[in-house]
Amino acid sequence: MNRLVLNPAVVLAALFAAIPLAPAFAHTGSGVSLGLESGFLHPLTGPDHLVAMVAVGLWGAQLGNPAIWVLPITFPLVMAVGGLLGVLGMPLPFVEPIIAVSGIALGTMVAFSVRPPLWVAATLVGVFAIFHGYAHGRELPEAADAIAFAVGFVIATGLLHLTGILIGVLVGYEAGAKVVRACGAAIGCVGVYFLLGAVGVIG
């Protein structure tokens, strides 16, 4: 039996894979899969959100310990607070400009490989998380299946973080560190573009 040791990661992965498959067979499944799909696509369809999410992962990787684990764990919770504000319909000013600004800020941090104290980094990311969550939260009441929508955008956001972290692993190499900083610069540029769009200068 010892020879037949299953790879735990594979088992876990298979398990995760099986879960969203299962709802597809449901009699009530259409709501669930619709919700999952629209939720999953929501963060991916807003390029400003998308790049900023990747930037969070990149920066986390660049900052190293302890940011690399503090950020992924606290980000969802802070985002949930923003989401709550959105769900409750609280008015929050300048949502789109602030998201664009945080994209610029995060991109800049990555591009110049800035290493502020953890609380500064956490605050910056936290502000962004609240506004990002707020934008999702506003969509939640319209979703076909609220929990499926939430799970969908959470998976998408988590994968974007993971993408950033995986790219960020390159910082271990000299050339890789440059690539990461270049990514940060690109993200900053995208942020500038959307900021101009948000305040009505272009588009």
Residues that bind other proteins (CB under 8 A): 1, 3-30, 32-34, 36-37, 40, 68-69, 72-77, 79-81, 83-84, 87-89, 133, 136-137, 140-141, 145-148, 150-151, 154-155, 157-159, 161-162, 166
Nearer to other proteins, 33 or 62 (CB): 33
Q: DSSP assignment of 69-91, as one string?
A: HHHHHHHHHHHHHHHHHHHTT--
Rounded least distance, CB 36 to other proteins, Å: 5
Least CB distance to other proteins at residue 101 (A): 23
* Minimum distance of other proteins from residue 53's CB (angstroms): 13
Residue nearer to other proteins on the CB measure, 65 or 200: 65
Residue placing its CB nearer to other proteins in the complex, 20 or 97: 20
Distance from C-alpha of 146 to C-alpha of 82, rounded to nearest angstrom: 16
CA–CA separation, 100 vs 98, rounded Å? 5
Cα atoms found within 13 Å of the Cα of residue 31, Cβ hemisphere only:
8
* Burial 71-97, CB ≥16 within 10 A → b, else e: bbeebeebbbebbebbbeeeeeeebbb
Whole-number minimum distance, CB 188 to other proteins, in Å?
25
Q: Which is nearer to other proteins, 109 or 154 (CB)?
A: 154
Question: In terms of Cα–Cα distance, which of 164, 186, 183, 195 is closest to 102?
Answer: 195
Residue 180: CB minimum distance to other proteins, A: 18
Q: Which residue's CB is nearer to other proteins, number 39 or number 188?
A: 39
Four-CA torsion 121, 123, 126, 131, nearest 10 degrees: -120
